């Protein structure tokens, strides 16, 4: 009886440890994504401000359209690149969060 209780207690402790490792990895991943998103927002704002300054300084409609087109193109490319990067980061931190549990699935009887 005591051995059964001790094994349940040990299994519970092991599961709690694995869960804490997983939550820690998840937290670190979310923090990294938040930092990345803040950096992207800052760069995006700076880029938009610079484009607006160029647009205000344009001497002709053609120059204004050229500035606007260049800004839209760079903003779109930056957005797609950032979303790709965030997607890769999310995949990586999901793998890290799952990693503590990998060994558990081999323990179950078939």
**Non-local CB neighbours of 74 within 8 Å, separated by 6+ positions:** 47
Percent above pLDDT 90 for the chain: 55
What pLDDT digit, counting tens, does each position of 56-83 carry?
999 999 999 999 999 999 999 999 999 9
Question: Of 36, 56, 58, whose CA–CA distance to 48 is shortest?
Answer: 56
Q: Is the pLDDT of residue 109 over 60?
A: no
Q: What is the pTM of this model?
A: 0.71
The mean per-residue pLDDT over the stretch 14-30 comes to 84
Distances (CA, A) of 69 to 55, 62, 66, 72: 11, 10, 5, 5
The mean per-residue pLDDT over the stretch 87-104 comes to 84
Residues 96 and 25: beta-carbon distance below 8 Å: yes
Percent above pLDDT 70 for the chain: 88
């Amino acid at each position: 009886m005591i051995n059964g209780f001790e094994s349940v207690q040990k299994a519970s402790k092991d599961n709690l440890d694995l869960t804490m490792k997983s939550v820690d990895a998840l937290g670190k991943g979310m923090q990294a994504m938040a930092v990345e998103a803040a950096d992207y927002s800052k760069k995006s704002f700076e880029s938009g401000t610079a484009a607006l300054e160029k647009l205000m300084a344009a001497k002709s409609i053609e120059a204004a359209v050229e500035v606007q087109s260049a800004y839209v193109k760079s903003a779109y490319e930056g957005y797609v690149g950032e979303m790709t990067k965030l997607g890769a980061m999310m995949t990586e931190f999901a793998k890290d969060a799952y990693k503590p549990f990998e060994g558990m699935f081999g323990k179950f009887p078939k």
